[in-house]
Amino acid sequence: MGKDKNPSIFFCKLATLEHAYAHTKGRLMDDKMIGAIFSIAREKYRATLNLFAENQGDGLQPSHLEAAMRKIWH
């Protein structure tokens, strides 16, 4: 993810992949998507993403991380 890139672009790409593989053995599960988000997120998002992950626990969804990143970007 580029330094000043809107995180929405990444999440649109992720949603496209999720949709494309939804009915296959390669289906993207939430834990894989969360891992992808953490691996691609720039440093400025990491503390907030970790806080969201800690607060949500097992209920963490990719949409929680997306919302957090969008708030930081704006």
Q: Where are the domains of the chain?
A: 7-73
Q: Dmax over Cα atoms in the chain, in whole Å? A: 36
Q: What's the pTM?
A: 0.79
Q: Which residues contact 72 (CB under 8 A, 6 or more apart)?
A: 44, 45, 48
Report whether pLDDT(61) > 70.
yes
What pLDDT, in 10s, does the model give residues 6-33? Answer: 888 888 888 898 889 888 888 888 999 9
Say what the pLDDT of residue 1 is. Answer: 62
Beta strand spans in 1-74 (E): none
pLDDT band at 51 (very low <50, low <70, confident <90, very high): very high
Report whether pLDDT(38) > 90.
yes
